[in-house]
């Protein structure tokens, strides 16, 4: 429904105000990271300093949380990429009984509120006597990350013409060679985009994690504790800023990887 006429002023104002509403709070985080005030959330900041960057850099607890988050996100992303690609290949290549059920099953962990996924996993771990560890966090994260990889891969598989695969087989390649030389290069950018979104999703997840983590604190858990009981406001400000920057990078990359093709990498969150 594209129009060649310029937009009416009222719509311009409403849309612009809406976008500002979405972005101003995030920009505010960047200002607060440099404030000299360390006891309250005073606005406007009484002065600006780079001191808190250094203080945060030297905090072992922040580094531990960050390392744990990166490890969890990396492993969950790898598992999700494997499972999501397999599922997408099956669903997009063939029509079979129960196909809709499979799609639903993949989407369910993210469609149901996170607290349900979290408490379900927790009660299952309790029943099965599995102690909370690094791996219980990964188990939860991988489960809800499958869907983003799956959505990206399905969209790309649909565009991948079946005759390419037939041509490869006709020319004597076996299924594995065809996968390696024909299918993989065609889906790789979609997989990469899906993987980055999965990483961002896992890196940021807090609701399921509070239920599946034992004593470990991922970066979101660390932040949540600071939110509930603020103890070191300046450090929290800096961590918040870093988290914003770190999550923007994969989103922008995923956007540029998929923008010419099958629309919207992140639509599936």
Partner 1 sequence: MAIAKPTEATRVAKTGWLGRLSDQLWRSPRLLLVLLLLPPIAWLGIVYLGSLFALLIQSFFSIDEFSGLINYKFTLKTYGELFIPANFDIIVRTASMAAIVTLAAIAIAFPIAFFAARYAKGRWKAIFYLGVMLPLWSSYLVKVYAWKLILAKEGILNWGLETLHLSWLLDAWLSLSVIGGNSLSVSYTGTFLVFLYVWLPFMILPIQAALERVPGNYLEASSDLGARPMQTLRTIILPLALPGIIAGSIFTFSLTLGDYIIPQIIGSSRLFIGQAVYAHQGTAGNIPLAAAFSVVPVIIMGFYLWGAKRQGAFDAL
- Judged by CB under 8 A, the chain residues 148 through 207 that form the site for partner 1 are 166, 169-172, 174-176, 197, 200, 204, 206-207
Query: What is the Rg, in whole angstroms, of the alpha carbon atoms belonging to the chain?
Result: 22
**Structure tokens that stand for 208 in this block:** 């399921």
Return the number of the residue (112 or 184) whose C-beta is nearest partner 1: 112
Between CA 216 and CA 70 the distance in angstroms is: 13
Cβ contact 60:42 at 8 Å: no
Only one residue has tokens 């009416």, namely 8
Bridge partners, residue 35, by sequence? 48
Return the number of the residue (79 or 190) whose C-beta is nearest partner 1: 79
Does residue 131 belong to the site contacting partner 1 (CB under 8 A)? no
Residue 4 has φ and ψ, to the nearest 5°, of: -90, -15
Bridge partners, residue 48, by sequence? 35
Return the number of the residue (44 or 185) whose C-beta is nearest partner 1: 44
Encoded one letter per residue, x for contact with partner 1 by CB under 8 A and - for no contact, window 59-98 reads: --------------------x--xxx-xx-xx---x-x--
Return the number of the residue (55 or 224) whose C-beta is nearest partner 1: 224
Between CA 160 and CA 174 the distance in angstroms is: 18
Return the residue of 75, 108, 160, 253 that touches partner 1, per CB under 8 A. 108
Q: To the nearest whole angstrom, how small is the minimum distance from the Cβ of residue 159 to partner 1?
A: 18
Q: To the nearest whole angstrom, how small is the minimum distance from the Cβ of residue 83 to partner 1?
A: 4
Residues 6+ apart with CB under 8 A from 248: none
Residues 6+ apart with CB under 8 A from 262: 152, 155, 156, 158, 159, 190
Between CA 229 and CA 94 the distance in angstroms is: 52
Return the number of the residue (105 or 184) whose C-beta is nearest partner 1: 105
Choices 39-47, 48-56, 57-65, 182-190 (CB under 8 A): range interacting with partner 1 = 39-47
Does residue 56 belong to the site contacting partner 1 (CB under 8 A)? no
Return the residue of 9, 21, 58, 185 that touches partner 1, per CB under 8 A. 21
């Amino acid at each position: 429904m594209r129009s060649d006429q310029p937009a009416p002023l009222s719509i311009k104002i409403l849309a612009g105000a809406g976008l500002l509403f979405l972005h101003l709070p995030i920009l505010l985080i960047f200002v607060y990271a440099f404030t000299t005030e360390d006891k309250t959330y005073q606005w406007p900041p009484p002065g600006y300093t780079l001191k808190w960057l250094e203080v945060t850099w030297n905090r072992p607890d922040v580094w531990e949380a960050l390392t744990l988050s990166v490890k969890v996100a990396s492993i969950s992303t790898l598992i999700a990429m494997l499972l999501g690609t397999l599922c997408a290949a099956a669903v997009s290549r063939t029509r079979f009984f129960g196909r809709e059920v499979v799609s639903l099953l993949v989407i369910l962990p993210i469609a149901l509120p996170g607290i349900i996924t979290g408490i379900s996993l927790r009660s299952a771990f309790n029943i099965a006597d599995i102690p909370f560890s690094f791996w219980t966090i990964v188990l939860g994260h991988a489960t809800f990350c499958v869907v983003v990889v799956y959505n990206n891969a399905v969209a790309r598989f649909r565009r991948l013409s079946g005759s390419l695969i037939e041509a490869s087989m006709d020319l004597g390649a076996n299924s594995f060679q065809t996968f390696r030389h024909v299918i993989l290069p065609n889906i790789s950018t979609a997989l990469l985009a899906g993987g980055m979104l999965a990483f961002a999703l896992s890196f940021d997840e807090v609701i399921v994690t509070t239920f599946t983590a034992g004593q470990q604190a991922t970066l979101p858990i660390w932040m949540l504790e600071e939110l509930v009981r603020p103890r070191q406001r300046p450090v929290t400000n800096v961590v918040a800023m870093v988290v914003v920057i770190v999550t923007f990078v994969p989103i922008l990359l995923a956007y540029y990887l998929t923008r010419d093709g099958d629309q919207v990498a992140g639509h599936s969150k």
